[in-house]
Structure 1
Amino acid sequence: MRVVAKFGGTSLGSGDRIERAADSIAKAVEQGHEIAVVASAMGDTTDDLLSEITFNADESDQAEIVSMGERTSVRMLKAALASRGVNAMFIEPGHELWPVITDERGEVIVEETKKWASKLADKMDNVVPVITGFLAQTKDGNMTTLGRGGSDTTAVMLGKYMNADEVVIVTDVEGVMTGDPTVVEGARNVGEITVDELRNLSFRGAEVVAPSALAYKDDRMDVRVTHYQHGDLLTGGTRIEGEFRSLVDMREDPLACLTIAGRAIRNTPGILQRVSTALGDHDINVDAVASGMDSITFYIDESLAAEAEDVLHSTIVDLDQLSSVTVDKDVAVIRITGGELPNRPGILQDVIAPIADARINIHDLITSATSIAIFIDWDDREETLEIVQSQF
């Protein structure tokens, strides 16, 4: 099996941890697996170096300075592997086999990176390449970086382009947890999670795998997150499933839009729960929810509108904080999902502007890290769909 293993700063934060990392790599090599290693800077080295740049340095000089963290890590890890009888070589920008090629802005040049990653992969039958994460270079040899979380990006990208069977992210958590174990009592490891689920969590504060890295995940290649104390690269942790697919989809049946108004909504805990529970108790599925300062809007199947209005009205009568419910029918929804959304600046403008130019009114716009839902009049759905599809 061919594996790309990325060791984060915490997992290389001391001599003992480097020893532990080398042990796990040597064990996998002894079992007959082809291993490539991506190494982050030890501990907080990168942040420490950045904090010491108190002068006005250009981007190229900054990249050279912060690269010293990763350059040190690969040398330490290569030496630790050599002491265990493992044939290893460290690879950094400037090396004849350096694989990650970008333009001057740090955008990956895919064809060049694929070509050099393939050449590097051909060497893995008799050597363990130990590669600096986060760093890159232009075709002219100038130093660039892949941005925050760049070591994760290096690992998953190289895993894809080197035809690895699996990428293992070795970090300081035992995979994805049900909650922050430092805050939530009884948090446990999640054995499997989809790439869409994790991408949403990552953009909302979960520091497990950098969102930029997940864009390179495909169905063919497994990605797994495991704790550096586990000691075995090939087992344990959380497996990330699936891949991002850009998709524009239009719901086949019309929706009804039910809006509850109440001046005290924003200051009354449990209001959303009360009205949502009332709908759930009557087996009324909610397609989407939007909330404002003084209103809550539910989108449900239009065939259930009358029943839902009656249920919500009964709830309103029981709650002094709510004043009224209204119903608007013949609403269509078009959803856009895809891994490129968070990395495409101006994406909302790209979607909304042509719809506005066509004089189509948008009822609502609901977004998440990897999706956009556009609500419009039912009669405008086909034209809106054509406009949105033209952008993707």
Structure 2
Amino acid sequence: MRVVAKFGGTSLGTGDRISRAADSIATAVADGHEIVVVASAMGSTTDELLEEISFEASEADRAEIVSMGERTSVRMLKAALSARDVDATFLEPGDGDWPVVTDEFGEVDVEETKRRADALVETSAETVPVVTGFLAEGPDGTITTLGRGGSDTTAVMLGNYMDADEVVIVTDVEGVMTGDPHVVEGARNVGQISVDELRNLSFRGAEVVAPSALSYKDESLAVRVVHYQHGDLLTGGTEIEGTFENLVDLREYPLACLTVAGRSIRNHPGILQTLSTALGEAEINVDVAASGLDTVTFYVDAEEAERAENILHRQVIEHDDIASVTVDQPLAVITLTGGELPTQPGVIHEIVEPFAEARLQIHDLVTSATSVAILVDWEDRERGLELAQDLF
């Protein structure tokens, strides 16, 4: 089995942890598996190096400086493997066998990186390549970086391009947890989680696998997260399932928009819970929700509009800080899902601009970590869908 094993900074943070990592790699090699290693900088070396750059430095110089963390890690890990009679070779930008290259725009040169990854497959059957994560080689041979979480990106990218059976992310947690074990009591491991779920958690602060890495996962590539103390690269942890695709979806049936108004309603604790609980107890599903300073808006199936209005109106009567409820229908919702949509600078402008040029009114636009919901008049749904599809 061909496995790409990525060791995070915490899993290489001390000499003992490097030895533990080398033991797990040596065991997998002895069992007949083909292992490619991606190494992060030891501990928090990269952050520490960045903090020390208190002077004006070019991007090229900054990349050279911060690369020292990963370049040290691969040498340490290669030496630890050699001490265990494992034939290993460390790779960094500038080496003849180095696989990850970028174009003149700083983006991964997919064609060239795939070609080099294929060449790396030929050597990985005989030796364990220990690759610096996070780093890439520019078209002029200079060192560039893949951004925060870049070691995860390196690992999953190589796993994809090298036709690996699995990518194993070795970190300081027992896979994906039900909550931060450093904060909440009783946090436990989640045995399986989908790419969609993990991407949303990652964009909202869960430091497990970098969102940029998951875009390289396809259906045939298994990805797993394990704790560095586990000691076995091939079992345990959390399996990440599925693949993330760019999708444009038009809801088949119309929605009604119910807006509850009240002065500074958002500043009243419990109001959102009160309103949503009332709808939930009546088994009315909320398709989309949004809030402003003075309003809370729920989008529900148009067929439930009258019943939902009556339910919310009862809450208006019972609570002095809610003034009124109103209904607007029918509306269509077009959902764009994919990649890192809401985190891309200018992406909302790119979405809204064609609708404005077509004179199509957007009633609401609601974003989450990986999706954007566009609400338009029901009669404009087909035209809106065409404009959204053109964005992809």
- Shared topology, TM-score over 0.5? yes
Q: Is the 8 A contact 2:267 2:293 kept in 1?
A: no
In 2, the alpha carbon distance for the partners of 1:144 and 1:305 equals: 54
State the shift of 1:140 in Å. 2.8
Give the structure 2 partner of residue 130 of structure 1.
130
Give the structure 2 partner of residue 90 of structure 1.
90
Give the structure 1 partner of residue 369 of structure 2.
369
In 1, the alpha carbon distance for the partners of 2:66 and 2:119 equals: 27
State the shift of 1:282 in Å. 1.3
State the shift of 1:267 in Å. 2.6
Give the structure 2 partner of residue 315 of structure 1.
315
In 1, the alpha carbon distance for the partners of 2:108 and 2:342 equals: 17
Task: For 1:74-89, list aligned pairs within 5 A.
Answer: 74-89=74-89
Percent identical across equivalent pairs? 70
Give the structure 1 partner of residue 73 of structure 2.
73
State the shift of 1:180 in Å. 1.1
Give the structure 1 partner of residue 239 of structure 2.
239
Moved more, 360-369 or 56-65: 56-65
**Residue deviations 1:172-228, cap 9 Å, x none?**
111111111111111111111111111111111111111111111111101111111
Q: Is the 8 A contact 1:248 1:388 kept in 2?
A: yes
Name the aligned partner's letter for residue 158 of structure 1. Answer: L
Task: For 1:34-183, list aligned pairs within 5 A.
Answer: 34-183=34-183
State the shift of 1:147 in Å. 1.2
In 1, the alpha carbon distance for the partners of 2:318 and 2:56 equals: 63
TM-score normalized by the length of structure 2: 0.97
Give the structure 1 partner of residue 334 of structure 2.
334
In 2, the alpha carbon distance for the partners of 1:340 and 1:162 equals: 24
Q: Is the 8 A contact 1:265 1:293 kept in 2?
A: yes
The RMSD of aligned alpha carbons is: 1.2
Give the structure 1 partner of residue 216 of structure 2.
216
Name the aligned partner's letter for residue 30 of structure 1. Answer: A
Which sections of structure 2, spanning at least 5 residues, go unmatched? Answer: none
In 1, the alpha carbon distance for the partners of 2:246 and 2:308 equals: 33
Give the structure 1 partner of residue 188 of structure 2.
188
In 2, the alpha carbon distance for the partners of 1:314 and 1:376 equals: 28
Give the structure 2 partner of residue 203 of structure 1.
203
Q: Is the 8 A contact 1:226 1:236 kept in 2?
A: yes
State the shift of 1:266 in Å. 2.0
**Residue deviations 1:9-55, cap 9 Å, x none?**
11111110000000000111111111000001111211222222222
In 1, the alpha carbon distance for the partners of 2:64 and 2:202 equals: 28
Name the aligned partner's letter for residue 251 of structure 1. Answer: R
3-state SS, counterpart of residue 336 of structure 2:
strand
Give the structure 1 partner of residue 357 of structure 2.
357
Rate the CA distance shift 1:312–1:343 in 2: closer, same or farther, 3 A: closer
In 2, the alpha carbon distance for the partners of 1:375 and 1:109 equals: 37
3-state SS, counterpart of residue 190 of structure 1:
coil
**Residue deviations 1:84-126, cap 9 Å, x none?**
1111111111111100010244310000000001100121212
In 2, the alpha carbon distance for the partners of 1:188 and 1:329 equals: 44
Q: Is the 8 A contact 1:215 1:340 kept in 2?
A: no
TM-score normalized by the length of structure 1: 0.97
3-state SS, counterpart of residue 277 of structure 2:
helix
3-state SS, counterpart of residue 180 of structure 1:
coil
Aligned residue pairs, count: 392
Task: For 1:274-289, list aligned pairs within 5 A.
Answer: 274-289=274-289
Q: Is the 8 A contact 2:173 2:226 kept in 1?
A: yes
Moved more, 117-126 or 43-52: 43-52
State the shift of 1:343 in Å. 6.0
State the shift of 1:344 in Å. 3.9
3-state SS, counterpart of residue 50 of structure 1:
helix
In 2, the alpha carbon distance for the partners of 1:53 and 1:310 equals: 61
**Residue deviations 1:327-378, cap 9 Å, x none?**
1111111010012525643211111011011111111100011100000111
State the shift of 1:311 in Å. 1.1
Give the structure 2 partner of residue 26 of structure 1.
26
Give the structure 2 partner of residue 257 of structure 1.
257
State the shift of 1:5 in Å. 0.4
Name the aligned partner's letter for residue 21 of structure 1. Answer: A
3-state SS, counterpart of residue 360 of structure 2:
coil
In 1, the alpha carbon distance for the partners of 2:182 and 2:340 equals: 32
Which sections of structure 1, spanning at least 5 residues, go unmatched? Answer: none
Give the structure 2 partner of residue 390 of structure 1.
390
In 2, the alpha carbon distance for the partners of 1:118 and 1:290 equals: 48
Q: Is the 8 A contact 1:264 1:322 kept in 2?
A: no
Moved more, 288-297 or 47-56: 47-56
Name the aligned partner's letter for residue 216 of structure 2. Answer: Y
In 2, the alpha carbon distance for the partners of 1:313 and 1:342 equals: 34
